[in-house]
């Protein structure tokens, strides 16, 4: 009898334990379902998981996967960014009454992915001198040193094999994907335009991460900033800007130059100004790429912000007129016709008092305009940051202004444009 009771009690406890596990699992699944309905993920291969202590996690393959973008109706969302070498990143969602963080983490069990035009060094762990081959060179090719370049987008991926004749090591690329590409426009007068670039002194970009459009140097084509051997082909503000943006965000960058030398603000007026007509011409040429099936099969373009470097020719222009003319251009560039989110001003030196004051007031009075950097006020011929004409920035000056502007734009993406001060000490 006692043995029978003990057996029944054991069965009841076991059934209770099974019921509790099922109930808890159901609750977890229910919570995950609610979270994924509230916070949308733009790639259906992924979903947010609820883990210990209600933490939210989204798992990604190793390598350089596309980072899913989150959205939440009526909420402010800060997207996760993955600079090279990072294994984890955080997205933030602020609703009217709740704050969520989603941890993005790389998980080798989900595979290894690279983006189009990525460069990856395959270094065998146990082999000495080795030869390298690719199972699918139309997707990922490899040179004699193990440098892998992604040349195609494919769900099939490729396997890179290193062999010393008796032993092998393999790099399995499970998938290659379209590369997210952040697009920025630089305009203004000669300190924006591409007249005075010196690529040999420019900040060096990583091959496969930075692209450039300037009709002055590349014709009507988008070109890499590096040549096939990695040497710089581009300078000006764009080189340091691209390198810094990539280092901070892990995203490839296209810089479009539409600067016009020696032009006053009035020439940038939409419709009538010849400098504006040049901006529009450049933008229409870029549309060829943004609507080209082949280009879009390799890249996922995302229009970001524009950068303004101008004011030297407006030393005598009234502050009110400068502001009124600038706002007309700004409103068009941030309209659906162009789609830029913010305007970032590389502030002209204060010796151009009228335009410098106008730029400060524009940033103070408009929620989508910021002074990216004021550092040009510290530039001189003597410290090497101005050319000998004391009018144009040297490549050393461009390197600094490009870097600081990129930091300002990355900060705005992370914390909002109000976080941008334009001051770098």
- H or E segment at 102? strand 99-106
- What counts of helices (H) and strands (E) characterise the chain? 7, 23
Q: Using one digit for the tens of pLDDT, what is the confidence trace for 190-207?
A: 999 988 889 999 999 999
Instruction: Give percent of the chain above pLDDT 70.
Output: 93
Of 298, 213, 205, 218, the residue nearest 245 (C-alpha):
205
Dihedral, CA of residue 304, residue 309, residue 313 and residue 315, to nearest 10: 110
d(CA 197, CA 294): 31
Q: DSSP readout, 115-175? A: ETT-EEE---SS-SS-EEEES-TTTEEE-TT-EEEE-S-BSS-EEEEEE-SS-EEEEEE-E
d(CA 337, CA 265): 21
Whole-angstrom CA distances from 39 to 31, 73, 98, 162 are: 12, 8, 12, 43
Q: Are strands 168-173 and 62-63 parallel, antiparallel or unpaired?
A: unpaired
Instruction: Give percent of the chain above pLDDT 90.
Output: 86
d(CA 46, CA 107): 12
Name the fold adopted by 112-177. Immunoglobulin-like (2.60.40)
**145 Cβ neighbours under 8 A, 6+ residues apart:** 132
Q: Using one digit for the tens of pLDDT, what is the confidence trace for 40-67?
A: 999 999 999 998 777 999 999 999 999 9
pLDDT of 31 reads 80
Question: Are 54 and 99 within 8 A, CB to CB?
Answer: no
Whole-angstrom CA distances from 175 to 61, 63, 107, 153, 156 are: 10, 10, 14, 8, 6
Residue with tokens 């001198």: 129
pLDDT of 155 reads 97
pLDDT of 20 reads 34
179-419 has CATH 1.10.3720.10 classification: no
Answer left, alpha or beta for residue 201, where phi above 0 means left and psi between -120 and 50 means alpha. Answer: alpha
Domain-wise residue ranges, the chain: 2-109, 112-177, 179-419
- Please check the confidence at residue 102 and state whether its pLDDT lies above 50: yes
- Three-state SS for 257? strand
- Please check the confidence at residue 23 and state whether its pLDDT lies above 80: no
pLDDT band at 26 (very low <50, low <70, confident <90, very high): very low
Burial class, 231, CB count within 10 angstroms (exposed 0-12 / middle 13-18 / buried 19+): exposed
d(CA 120, CA 64): 10
Q: Using one digit for the tens of pLDDT, what is the confidence trace for 381-401?
A: 999 999 999 999 999 999 999
pLDDT of 52 reads 78
Work out the mean pLDDT of the chain and round it to a whole number.
92
Out of 2-16, 147-161, 163-177, 329-343, which region has the weakest mean confidence (pLDDT)?
Answer: 2-16
pTM comes to 0.90
Q: Using one digit for the tens of pLDDT, what is the confidence trace for 241-278?
A: 999 999 999 999 999 999 999 999 999 999 999 999 99
**327 Cβ neighbours under 8 A, 6+ residues apart:** 362, 366
pLDDT band at 28 (very low <50, low <70, confident <90, very high): low
**236 Cβ neighbours under 8 A, 6+ residues apart:** 194, 196, 197, 202, 257, 395, 398, 402
Strand ranges for 282-403 from DSSP E: 299-309, 343-346, 369-373
Q: Using one digit for the tens of pLDDT, what is the confidence trace for 271-308?
A: 999 999 999 999 999 999 999 999 999 999 999 999 99
Tally Cβ neighbours within 10 Å of residue 166: 6
């Amino acid at each position: 009898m006692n043995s029978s009771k003990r057996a029944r009690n054991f069965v009841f406890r076991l059934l209770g334990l099974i019921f509790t596990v099922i109930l808890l699992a159901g609750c977890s699944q229910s919570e995950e379902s609610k979270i994924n309905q509230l916070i949308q993920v733009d790639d259906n291969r992924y979903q947010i998981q609820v883990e210990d202590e209600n933490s939210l996690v989204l798992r990604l393959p190793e390598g350089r996967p596309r980072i899913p973008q989150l959205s939440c109706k009526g909420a402010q969302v800060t997207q996760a960014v993955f600079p090279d070498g990072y294994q984890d990143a955080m997205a933030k969602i602020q609703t009217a009454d709740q704050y969520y963080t989603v941890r993005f983490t790389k998980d080798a069990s989900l595979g290894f992915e690279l983006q189009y035009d990525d460069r990856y060094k395959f270094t065998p762990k146990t082999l000495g001198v080795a030869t390298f081959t690719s199972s699918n060179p139309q997707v990922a090719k490899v040179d004699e040193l193990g440098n892998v370049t992604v040349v195609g987008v494919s769900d099939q991926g490729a396997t890179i094999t290193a062999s010393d004749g008796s032993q092998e090591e393999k790099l399995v690329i499970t998938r290659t994907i379209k590369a997210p590409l952040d697009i920025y426009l630089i305009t203004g007068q000669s300190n924006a335009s591409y007249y005075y670039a010196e690529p040999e002194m420019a900040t060096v970009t990583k091959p496969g991460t930075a692209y450039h459009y300037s009709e002055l140097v590349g014709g009507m084509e988008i070109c890499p900033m590096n040549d096939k051997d990695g040497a710089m082909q581009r300078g000006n503000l764009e080189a340091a800007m691209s390198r810094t943006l990539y280092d901070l965000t892990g995203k490839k960058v296209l810089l479009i130059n539409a600067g016009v030398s020696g032009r006053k603000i009035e020439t940038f007026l939409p419709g009538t100004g010849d400098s504006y007509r040049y901006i529009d011409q450049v933008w229409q040429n870029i549309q060829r790429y943004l609507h080209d099936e082949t280009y879009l099969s390799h890249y996922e373009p995302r229009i970001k912000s524009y950068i303004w470097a101008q004011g030297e020719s407006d030393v005598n222009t009234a502050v009110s007129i400068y502001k009124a003319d600038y706002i007309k251009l700004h409103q068009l560039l941030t309209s659906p016709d162009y789609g830029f989110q913010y305007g970032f001003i590389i502030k002209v030196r204060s010796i151009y008092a009228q335009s410098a004051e106008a730029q400060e007031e524009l940033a103070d009075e408009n929620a989508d305009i910021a002074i990216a950097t004021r550092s040009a006020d510290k530039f001189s011929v003597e410290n090497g940051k101005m050319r000998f004409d004391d009018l144009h920035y040297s490549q050393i000056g461009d390197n600094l202004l490009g870097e600081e502007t990129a930091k300002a734009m990355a900060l705005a993406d992370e914390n909002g444009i109000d976080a941008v001060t334009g001051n770098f000490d």
